[in-house]
Amino acid sequence: MTTLDTELAFATIGRLQALLDAGEICSRELVDLHLSRIARLDPGLHAYVDVHVAQSQSAADGLDALRRAGVKLGPLHGVTVAVKDLFDIEGWPTSAGSVARPPRIGEVTATAVHRLRQAGAVVLGKTHTVEFAFGGWGTNAVMGTPWNPWDLTTRRVPGGSSSGSAVAVAAGMACAAIGTDTGGSVRIPAGLCGVVGLKTTHGMVSRHGLVELCPTHDTVGPITRDVADCALLLDVIAGPDPLDAASRSSPVRRLAPSLRFPVAGMRAWVLPDGERQHVDAEVLSVYDAALQAFQDLDVTLVRQPLPTSLTEAMQIAGQLMSAEGYANLGALFERDDLDFDPHVRRRILLGRDISAARYQQLLAARAHAQAAMQQAMMNVDVCIFPTNAIAAIPVSDVDELLTPLSLLGRFVNLLDLCSLALPAGFTRQGLPVSVQVIGPGLGELQALQLGHAYQQATCWHLAHPRGLD
């Protein structure tokens, strides 16, 4: 592979669009580059479930013809995206990371995928997920676990549940991807794989055509190389959809043009001292350096306690996920004649013992915690916390009974906040560390603006794994 090929494989959408507009490359060349990387790298990295070669090449040829005719469909015209294997695409199989039942063949295309295509994106294929998206490590005992590309010697967790989407972007096997986030499932893998991931406000992006796990918490979000690309994808996929009741009040707006808004004077709530004990020392070191970088941007750091501890929020969210997961999938997971990931089955079946009365208590506790957090954020614009409490560990060291990757993820979904995960540095072993800029509900613009300013002042997002050229 040439230096130019490597540059293109890890280029941002903004850079690629400039090259496409100038005629220096065409979409077919970009698609073929990514397909060749998938053919070469994915047997080891295991990011993709399905790759649709002929369809991708045909779509690229059509998009190139349109560009030559002076027609550009949108900001993603001719670039590639990967789609988590929870989204239906008409005529394509959806397995949701499970072998317990035959993959369903999509009768419709999920709204988010349809909007990507309308904006000119080429969908390369479907990416691996934790079974039914219920797990933070990124492991899947029945369909296989993607390999975190930052360590090609030791198999490390990619993070989940949008494991394959993050690995595909991090390894230069797609320009961008979409995933889902119910308790950290976009941000966790984005953070462990050194890319950008956005957990959107509930209802911001339509979930029509999505295999649901926990409807009160499920959200759709992009995984990209930088914040500008993230804003581009969000502008494309966000907005009201009559096919998803939760999205009907989603605002119609374009955020990408407003990224360069000055951030000096913003107030950011930092991780309280009482919560730092849960975070690995190397992660804290990178996090503290990132806080200094934000201070250098004239962001004021605010220290105050959380109204609901991260541990308590994680427990409430976990019970809601099990209760709603059992309501959606319990009949399937009760069967003894089918093959399940045992750890996912255990999480789903925990919901069997959550009574209707307990479920209502959990919803009330959530509402109380949301109101308390809204009040506490009255004097700040955003929070800046670590994305994950640890860096990627070897798959062989995973204890599925422990949930350290959920600690800093679930509370955002429980409280219906938005959150942007950003590359912020590396451990001594060269493993990515990430911070998340957390905004209030519908506060994506503030998070993206601050994240963009941080990336203009740092270079962590420009790094990519070695050995993949």
Query: pTM for this one?
Result: 0.98
Angstrom distance (rounded) from CA 299 to CA 280 = 25
Reported as a pLDDT band with limits 50, 70 and 90, residue 222 is very high
What is the β-pairing status of strands 219-224 and 93-94? unpaired
Query: Can you tell me the mean pLDDT for 26-52?
Result: 98
Question: How confident is the model over 401-431, as pLDDT tens digits?
Answer: 999 999 999 999 999 999 999 999 999 999 9
Candidates 405, 184, 386, 189; CA nearest to 284 is 386
What are residue 180's DSSP bridge partners? 220
Which residues are CB-contacts of 274 (< 8 A; sequence separation ≥ 6)? 305, 309
Residue 301: DSSP 8-state: E
- Computed over every residue of the chain, the mean pLDDT equals 97
- The CATH fold assigned to 3-307+372-462 is Amidase signature (AS) enzymes (3.90.1300)
The active-site residue, picked from 27, 185, 247, 434, is: 185
Residue ranges of domains in the chain:
3-307+372-462
Q: Which residues fall within 8 angstroms of residue 58, CB to CB, at 6 or more apart?
A: none
- At a CB cut-off of 8 Å and minimum separation 6, what does 399 contact? none
Identified catalytic residue from 56, 95, 98, 161: 161
Local confidence band at 469 (pLDDT 50, 70, 90 cut-offs): confident
Mean pLDDT of 441-448: 97
Q: Could you tell me the pLDDT band of residue 58, with boundaries at 50, 70 and 90?
A: very high
> What's the pLDDT score for residue 2?
76
Q: Which of 188, 186, 189, 221 is CA-nearest to residue 206?
A: 221
Q: Establish whether 84 is a catalytic residue.
A: yes
199 catalytically annotated: no
Catalytic residue selected from 56, 84, 163, 406 = 84
CB proximity list for 368: less than 8 A, separation 6 or greater: none
In this prediction, residue 1 carries a pLDDT of 59
Distance (Å, whole) CA 273 – CA 145: 35
Q: Taking the CA of residue 193 as centre, how many other CA atoms within 13 Å lie in the half-sphere pointing to its CB?
A: 38
